[in-house]
Structure 1
Amino acid sequence: MKKICFMLIAVMAYGMLSAQFAGIQNNEEQPLPAGFKPASTNTFLSQYPAINGDTRQATFRVVAPYAQNVTLQLSGKHPMTKDDKGVWWYTTDPLVVGFHYYAILIDSVPVMDRGSQAYFGSNWESAGIEVPEGREGDYYRFNKDIPHGEIRSLYHWSEINGLERHINVYVPAEYEKNPKKKYPVLYLVHGWGEDENGWSVQGHLANIMDGLIAGGKAVPMIIVMPSGDIKTNSDVRKASGDITDILIKDLIPYIDKTFRTYTDRDHRAMAGLSRGCAQTWNAVLNNMDKFAWMGGFSGSGRFGPNPFNPKAPVTTVETAYNGAFKDAEAFNKKMKLLFISIGTAEGQGAKQTYETLKDHGIKNLVYHESQGTAHEWLTWRRALNDFAPRLFR
Structure 2
Amino acid sequence: MKYAIALLLATVAGPGFAQAVVEDFKPSSLNQPGQQFPQVNSQGYARFRITAPDAQNVKVSLGLGGRGGTTLAKAADGSWTGTTAGPLDQGFHYYHLTVDGGTFNDPGALNFYGSVRWESGIEIPAQDADFYALKDVPHGHIDQILFPSPSTGTSRRAFVYTPPGYDKNARTRYPVLYLQHGWGEDETAWSNQGHANLIMDNLIAAGGTRPFIIVMTYGMTNDIKPGSPGGLAAFDIKPFQTVLVNELIPYVDAHFRTLTDPRHRAMAGLSMGGFETKLITATNLDKFAYIGLLSGGTFSLDDVNRTPGFKDKVKLAFVSFGSRELDGGMRGPPGGPPSDPRANAAAIKQAGVNSVFYVSPDTGHEFQTWRRSLKQFAPLLFRD
TM-score over 0.5 for the pair: yes
Per the alignment, residue 198 of structure 1 pairs with 189
Match of 1:284 among 281, 284, 293: 281
Map 1:192-271 → 2, pairs under 5 A: 192-230=183-221, 242-271=239-268
Residue by residue over 1:268-317, the C-alpha shift from the partner in whole angstroms, topping out at 9 and shown as x without a partner, is 000000000010011111100001100010022477xxxxxxxxxxxxx5
Match of 1:296 among 293, 297, 317: 293
Map 1:373-392 → 2, pairs under 5 A: 373-392=363-382
Structure 1's unaligned 5+ residue stretches are 1-32, 233-238, 304-316
Question: CA 1:108–1:362 in 2, change beyond 3 Å: closer, same or farther?
Answer: farther
RMSD: 2.0
TM-score, length-scaled by structure 1: 0.81
TM-score, length-scaled by structure 2: 0.83
TM superposition shift of 1:95: 1.7
Residue by residue over 1:71-111, the C-alpha shift from the partner in whole angstroms, topping out at 9 and shown as x without a partner, is 11125232110000110000123221110111111001111
Q: State, as a whole percentage, how many aligned pairs show the same letter.
A: 42
CA distance in 2 between counterparts of 1:96 and 1:388 reads 24
Matched, 1:56 2:44: yes
Residue by residue over 1:215-241, the C-alpha shift from the partner in whole angstroms, topping out at 9 and shown as x without a partner, is 111101000011111179xxxxxx996
CA distance in 1 between counterparts of 2:37 and 2:294 reads 32
Per the alignment, residue 372 of structure 1 pairs with 362
Per the alignment, residue 340 of structure 1 pairs with 319
CA distance in 2 between counterparts of 1:356 and 1:34 reads 46
Question: Contact 2:295/2:322 (CA < 8 Å) preserved in 1?
Answer: yes
Q: Which protein, 1 or 2, shows the higher relative CO under an 8 Å CA cutoff with sep ≥ 6?
A: 2
Residue identity in the other structure for 1:45:
G
Deviates more, 1:76-85 or 1:371-380: 76-85
Per the alignment, residue 5 of structure 2 pairs with none
Give the secondary structure class of the aligned counterpart of 2:211. Answer: coil
Question: Contact 1:156/1:251 (CA < 8 Å) preserved in 2?
Answer: yes
Map 1:339-358 → 2, pairs under 5 A: 339-347=318-326, 349=331, 352-356=340-344, 358=346
Residue identity in the other structure for 1:209:
M
Question: Contact 2:299/2:345 (CA < 8 Å) preserved in 1?
Answer: no
Match of 1:138 among 130, 143, 146: 130
Give the secondary structure class of the aligned counterpart of 2:340. Answer: helix
Question: Contact 1:38/1:49 (CA < 8 Å) preserved in 2?
Answer: yes
Match of 1:47 among 31, 36, 44: 36
Deviates more, 1:222-231 or 1:181-190: 222-231
| Stretches (4+) displaced over 3 A | none
Matched, 1:86 2:69: no
CA distance in 1 between counterparts of 2:312 and 2:342 reads 18
CA distance in 1 between counterparts of 2:358 and 2:344 reads 15
Give the secondary structure class of the aligned counterpart of 2:167. Answer: helix
CA distance in 1 between counterparts of 2:39 and 2:58 reads 18
Residue identity in the other structure for 1:344:
S
Q: Which has the larger radius of gyration?
A: 1
Per the alignment, residue 324 of structure 1 pairs with 307
TM superposition shift of 1:322: 9.3
Question: Contact 1:56/1:96 (CA < 8 Å) preserved in 2?
Answer: yes
TM superposition shift of 1:34: 5.2
